[in-house]
Amino acid sequence: MIRAAETRDDLERCVEICNAVHPEDPVVLEQLADSDGAFLLHEGGGYAFVARSSVPGSAYAMVRVRPDARRGGIGSALLAAVRTHAASAGFERAWGRVSEADPASLEFASRRGFEEAARDVTVVRELAPGDGETAPGIVELRDEHLRAAYRVCVECIPEIHVPQRAEAPPFDEWLEREARHSPLAFVAVCDGEVVGYARLYETGTPHRLEHGLTAVLPSHRRRGIAIALKRAELAWAAEHGYREVVTEMAGDNTAIRAVNERLGYRPLPASIVVSGSVV
């Protein structure tokens, strides 16, 4: 009953399932079609996604089952298929996220050998006309900034999945991934050097954008650069008619949490990062 989801109709069914599980944060077909991973569809009303992650040796995995189709073995079958798929691709472990507001799913993962590794804090910022500002030194990303922006990401990405340790992908892969569903990015330039980087992404909700990585080189932190980058993003989003921006960060990233609090973001239910063996 489980098969690869390869056609447009298959992916539309995955979209329907995902949005039944997460009506507050819907996705659209284009987001799934552009994903670098495998979708496994269960005819009973569930699907799984598995892909190479930024954490060496670990796949990123997600299992979603319609609320009205749960407790019938669909989730267990999909998780077994995920483990088989990940192991065959050479991964030893898999990790994913479970909403703090969904204790049943956390219990499901725990009973099947997945343990809590971290908690990611999710916050939202409502926008009003005139919000934000673009400070001197904060400019929209251009082609001449790409290599330097990538170097910022290479240095900063290992910090974002603690206690797991992430790595930036190769430059060409990073470049292709970063541009997907993204209206723009900003860089912070100091004395001619790119020292910070931040990007916005479209979501399945027309009035909402999502912050990607906000990264500042360690040598230039505590100067207000992260706040300046986010204020520029808020200004652009407000100017272009968006009503809110969401972002997610590691729970122990106290620096960026403080930045978001200063900018008026309010908390949403946390995402619990779970990790387990695939063998």
- Identify the band that residue 161 occupies on the pLDDT scale cut at 50, 70 and 90: low
According to DSSP, residue 46 is labeled E
User: How large is the average pLDDT for residues 190-213?
Assistant: 94
Residue 109 lies in a domain: no
Which range marks the domain in which residue 176 is found?
125-270
Residue 252 lies in a domain: yes
CATH code of 132's domain: 3.40.630.30
Residue 100 lies in a domain: no
Do 130 and 265 lie in one domain? The reply is: yes
Beta-bridge partners for 214: 198
Do 50 and 179 lie in one domain? The reply is: no
Instruction: Report the residue count for the chain.
Output: 279
Do 30 and 157 lie in one domain? The reply is: no
Mean pLDDT estimate for the chain = 93
Do 65 and 197 lie in one domain? The reply is: no
Number of neighbours of residue 179 by Cβ within 10 angstroms: 11
Task: Give CA angle at 245 (11, 115), nearest 5°.
Answer: 60
- Identify the band that residue 72 occupies on the pLDDT scale cut at 50, 70 and 90: very high
Residue 279 lies in a domain: no
Do 164 and 264 lie in one domain? The reply is: yes
